[in-house]
Amino acid sequence: MTANLAFAASTEEAYRAKRQVYQDFYSYLFNSDARIILASPHSGEVRRPPDRYHPFPQSEIDGWTARVMARCQDPAHQGKKRVLISLHSTDYFGALLDIGDFGLPQNRALTRIVEQLQEDFSTSLSPLLPHYRDYIIPYTRGRLEWFAENWGTLDPKLLAAKSTAARFEVMSLMKITGQPEPWDRIELAEMDQVLNNYWDRPPQQFIALNGIFSGRKTAQLLNLSTKLEQAGIDYAVQVECSRFLARYYPDLAARLIHALIDGLEALA
């Protein structure tokens, strides 16, 4: 979705102001003297009214991430290595926690770390599954229903002309649920079955690596590899937390992030 990302402003002055805020934020992160840098870049409030291209503006912001980051401060990490965690939240269908590697070579060890997190936290996350299903399935179904009724299709190729975000959402849903291509004849009834059957397939994947958001395009936009080297930051990881987990179980989300940092700090 970041392939066509750009600032939009009504005047050149407003454009420069937006650009300066963006640059100042990331300059502050990279130049911080903290050992463990915890960032929630998009937390805030959305007041934009719905329109035909953004029917769900309230879901376009990373809600509830600030409360998770606040809990990550207690207890604070000693910081054996410099680690940057960029926390976002999402209501995309899938794992409760999706960890992105930013495409950085030093993050190859995340495969082992995520497997260990899945094993260590499955007992804590398993009881949440019925409540999460009740939360995420109607939400996802409602979005798909809006796409179908207002744009007349769930075909990702046709949705691309209406909204690249909608195209991305449907494609991601098809991939994580293992639906074979082509996807040009998808109907709502079929999607209902897909959504309801997904969590019945073992093993339950509560924590994913690069499941939906890898952060790799963002890393290119930020020239992240070079910035990390200049700042002396050893690891940078993107964490996409489900809004369900961030809102209702922030302490558990913070424990997961702590364990992720522990795993990174333990690397040779």
Give the mean pLDDT of the chain: 88
pLDDT digits (tens, 9 = 90+) for 157-205: 999 998 888 899 999 998 888 888 777 778 888 888 888 888 777 777 8
Domain residue spans of the chain: 34-42+51-265
116-151 in b/e burial notation, b at 16+ Cβ within 10 A?
A: ebbeebeeebeebeeebbebbbebbbebbeebeeeb
Mean pLDDT in residue range 59-75: 82
Using CA atoms in the order 199, 121, 72, 268, what is the torsion angle rounded to 10 degrees? Answer: -120
* pTM metric for this prediction: 0.89
Percent of the chain at pLDDT exceeding 90: 52
Report the candidate in 118, 119, 111 with the shortest Cα–Cα distance to residue 264.
111
Q: Which of 52-56, 216-220, 229-233, 239-243 has the lowest mean pLDDT?
A: 52-56
- Alpha carbons 235 and 141: distance in angstroms, whole number: 37
Per-residue pLDDT of 129-153, as tens digits, reads 999 999 999 999 999 999 999 999 9
Residue 243 has a CB neighbour count (10 Å cut-off) of: 21
